[in-house]
Amino acid sequence: MASVETVPVQRRALSKVMHAVGKIQYNETGLATVVTRVDGFIEKLFVDTTGVRVHKGDHLAEIYSQDLAVAQRELLLARSSPGGVANLLESTKAKMRQWGVTDAEIEKILQTGKALPYLTRYAPIAGTVTEKMVVAGSFVNRGDVLYRLANLDSVWAALELYEYEISWVQPGQPVELTAEAWPGQTIHGLVTFISPVLKEDTRTITVRVNVDNRAGTLKPGMFVSALIRVQLLADGTPGPTGLAGQFMCPMHPHIVQPTGGTCPLCGMTLQQLPGRAVTVTPEALQVLAVPVSAVLDSGQRRLVYVEKARGEFVPVEISLGPRAGEFYAVVSGLHAGDHVAVRGNFLLDSQFQITGQPSLLSQEGMSPAAHTH
């Protein structure tokens, strides 16, 4: 008559879903600064604007250096003097290498007997020129920055997660990102780092997501929305990501392999994601789940009404894991196949309360079996 509706408690795959916002940042492993190691005049800038994409080893600028001219004369003198000057030859070579003259250039000078007019600075990495600090003709001092480069093949998304969410996230966790600039497009990333420090002003913890950006869609400074789906284990704890202990390229997050080594694309040393490789059975991912609508929550206790016989209900106190969509993971108090009221349960509870029986707000006289924690 109370039109109580029940559903059986079942095991099912559950995922806890979290939303977060974040900002795109440079991947710090893909940043480089080009400095001059000699005093001199900028003779020529091959790369004269920011935003230019360069390959590793591309020439960027030529510098005229008096010191270099002197050193090259020494080098040629040492070469042409027979015997006793090997030390001078080697020390001059070493000095020139320190200034950034390549071995190939030194060999060329020695072979041709001709001094290089200028010192050339080359791109140490492939990437985009983000800053150009000098103009042609200017004088630079040793240590001055000429360019800053950033490789944007991979970027970081810095997400802000609340304290209560952080226990759900681990390195290797897949993250789905969306950016306002690309509506409808989902960009995939992997959590690689969780800040050890809480930001006191926002009460959030920064989670770094490494994102493959070879398509060039994400630009540092952009805001992104993140969706994190964490599979739950039967005990209500987060399931393994499957990537713990695996090795990943810091610039190419899609390069993941079980053993260490170097990245086949960029040659960088692969970094190991923290944690131990764990495999779980498909059964372990089947979580005893109760619909959210079945649960009466007093803030202190959580109760469901279980149908013991047709039309006969008893209140059962249950212990719940996290909420996953329209379900809660059940830690204790229920068994698969139990029928719980999902409609009319509030009415049942007030009926129990009125008639002085144990209910949500009154624990008196509840069956001990129901007190499982």
Q: Name the residues that contact Zn ion, by CB under 5 A.
A: 249, 251-252, 263, 265-266, 268
Instruction: Measure the CA–CA gap between 125 and 53, rounded to whole angstroms.
Output: 11
Which CB, 178 or 271, lies closer to Zn ion? 271
CB of 39 to Zn ion, least distance (A): 36
What is the rounded (10 degree) CA torsion for 210, 203, 19, 249?
10
| Cβ closest to Zn ion, residue 255 vs residue 340 | 255
Minimum separation from the CB atom of position 154 to Zn ion (A): 8
Indicate the length of the chain as a whole number.
373
Write down the least CB distance from residue 178 to Zn ion, Å. Answer: 25
For Zn ion, give the closer residue by CB, 33 or 269.
269
Q: Are strands 327-332 and 319-324 parallel, antiparallel or unpaired?
A: antiparallel
The sign of the CA dihedral 57, 63, 66, 67 is negative
Residue 280 tokens, joined? 């779980």
Residue nearest to Zn ion (CB): 263
Question: Nearest distance from residue 193's CB to Zn ion, in Å?
Answer: 17
Give the nearer residue to Zn ion in terms of CB position, either 228 or 249: 249
| Smallest distance from Zn ion to CB 6, Å | 55
Q: Least distance to Zn ion from the beta carbon of 263, Å?
A: 3
Is 179 within 8 Å of 133 (Cβ atoms)?
no
Nearer to Zn ion by C-beta: 261 or 325?
Answer: 261
Taking the C-alpha atoms of residue 248 and residue 273, their distance in angstroms, rounded to an integer, is: 7
| Closest to Zn ion by CB, 191 or 266 | 266
Q: Which of 195, 187, 235 is nearest to 332 (CA)?
A: 235
Task: Decide: 343 and 293 in contact? Cβ < 8 Å.
Answer: yes
Instruction: Please report, in angstroms and rounded to a whole number, the separation of the first and last CA atoms in the chain.
Output: 33
